[in-house]
Structure 1
């Protein structure tokens, strides 16, 4: 699952305390093996950890360092997956410099990756989670290039990428960088079965927009089989857990 949690706003429908029970119900209904989250701050990350079953763990770092700022945290079921190594990088010309920005973006942007071993099959893979900039095209394009370069360092290991990319799938330069130069597959397009129709993944607490833009994606190495994909429109009493719909996929490693 890729799920933009929406930062802990303090106004109207945006207030995390009101959205938390809905997000909790959604996550416990689905119980994904991996959840790539965006925009969670330390408070809400800790809440999600408390709301999931005890076997769930997470890896992440605030984009401004330590617990400061938004996280691109990766939650995972530790009964199924063992985290072998991980790292964080900042989407800039100095990716190992904490909180760095060099492409004109006013928000710090980052990514977190984890190398996992599947405890059942023994297979290894890389899960990378990110959140591209929301307004600066140079930051979006260069961020995509940086991540593709980073992923090339993992050799033949299967790759799973989750994220809020802030640009539409199939119709943007960053998307072409990931699926063109990067050779990644869009699970929504390659899925053998879809459990939902195409809707805009950002909804702003309003009704879903049919055939709208998908700015939240799950991408994989071409060798990874996508059995099922979905855009989850879960709500309780007409209220949503976030201003984004989570996107999901059932994957089979090669």
Structure 2
């Protein structure tokens, strides 16, 4: 019997090699999804105890606020109304107090206006790669200076990054022009710094989330949506987000919101939204620990 030709042997080796490679080559893994649990919480200034002694003091209220955050266990929280404030000779550092209660890392600018709206995040999950703020206007208590604070976070698990911006708009029926201007400034700043990242915006907007609200229309113009509208899985959607230190009541006024958006290809999905209602040891002196509920939502992207 004749030996196989050189060409035949070469073809056999090539076929065998291709078969081995086909078996040995691992399947390409799909990109990992990054999960982010985002919350927004107006905790109310400690000054409240000065103007309304019937409300428990900040030292008591912050315990309930900390328990809410620790129970909900979000990854990042935009806080509103947490100033460093002097009351009868004692300086309260509200952001620091919340950080100690929760163990979260905090970004809080030194600017007196920007101190009001710090951002807390879980440093075990994320590295902060950037931060900053923009002051919209300077005003005294009770309106304060209105600002936007922001951080860029990178997931330690997936390496993917995202932007979180936090803000607080002017309150009052006569402040619509201010809110319109703040909404435009907010959207412009988010557009400027987002850098193609997924974006989450937390805030007390002092305007219910209608399609014509300044935050809704301005953020929609840059591709962001109210996370409430991005999922059907909701807890307490029938409650107002402002409770006035009373038990939450039914109503459509949602002045505290979280918005989300991402560039094409990032595939951002929202799976859950909740208007957190305090219970158990989160209740302080028979009251809610703040005059606002915490808003909590869960999203993933890749």
Say whether the fold is shared (TM-score over 0.5): yes
Using the alignment, how far apart are the partners of 1:140 and 1:70 within structure 2?
20
Alignment of 1:173-212 (within 5 A): 173-212=213-252
Alignment TM-score, normalising by the size of structure 1? 0.87
On the 8 A contact 2:234/2:273 being kept in 1, the answer is: yes
Deviation at 1:182, TM superposition (A): 2.7
Deviation at 1:62, TM superposition (A): 5.5
Counterpart in the other structure of 1:247: 295
Counterpart of 1:88 (choices 123, 126, 133) is: 133
On the 8 A contact 1:38/1:70 being kept in 2, the answer is: no
Return 110-119 or 185-194, whichever deviates more: 185-194
Using the alignment, how far apart are the partners of 1:244 and 1:123 within structure 2?
32
CA deviation map 1:205-254 (0-9, x unaligned): 12322133000000000542111100001134542110000000011023
Aligned pair in 2 of structure 1 residues 29, 205: CA closer, same or farther (>3 Å)?
same
CA deviation map 1:91-118 (0-9, x unaligned): 14xxxxxxx46xxx96311110111101
Aligned pair in 2 of structure 1 residues 81, 13: CA closer, same or farther (>3 Å)?
same
1:59 is the counterpart of 2:107? yes
Return 33-42 or 173-182, whichever deviates more: 173-182
Counterpart in the other structure of 1:41: 83
Measured on the aligned residues, the alpha-carbon RMSD in Å equals 2.0
Using the alignment, how far apart are the partners of 1:27 and 1:177 within structure 2?
29
Deviation at 1:172, TM superposition (A): 4.1
Secondary structure at 1:91 match in 2: strand
On the 8 A contact 1:91/1:110 being kept in 2, the answer is: yes
1:29 is the counterpart of 2:74? no
Counterpart of 1:134 (choices 166, 171, 174) is: 171
Alignment TM-score, normalising by the size of structure 2? 0.74
Using the alignment, how far apart are the partners of 1:244 and 1:31 within structure 2?
18
On the 8 A contact 2:211/2:217 being kept in 1, the answer is: no
Return 117-126 or 192-201, whichever deviates more: 192-201
Using the alignment, how far apart are the partners of 2:71 and 2:216 within structure 1?
33
Secondary structure at 1:12 match in 2: coil
- Higher share of residues assigned helix: 2
Q: State the number of aligned residues.
A: 239
Counterpart in the other structure of 1:96: none
Counterpart in the other structure of 2:45: 7
Secondary structure at 1:83 match in 2: strand
Counterpart of 1:160 (choices 200, 209, 214) is: 200
Counterpart in the other structure of 1:169: 209
Using the alignment, how far apart are the partners of 1:138 and 1:247 within structure 2?
26
Using the alignment, how far apart are the partners of 1:3 and 1:88 within structure 2?
18
Secondary structure at 2:144 match in 1: coil
Secondary structure at 1:166 match in 2: coil
Using the alignment, how far apart are the partners of 2:257 and 2:110 within structure 1?
22
On the 8 A contact 1:63/1:110 being kept in 2, the answer is: no
On the 8 A contact 1:22/1:235 being kept in 2, the answer is: no
Deviation at 1:179, TM superposition (A): 4.1
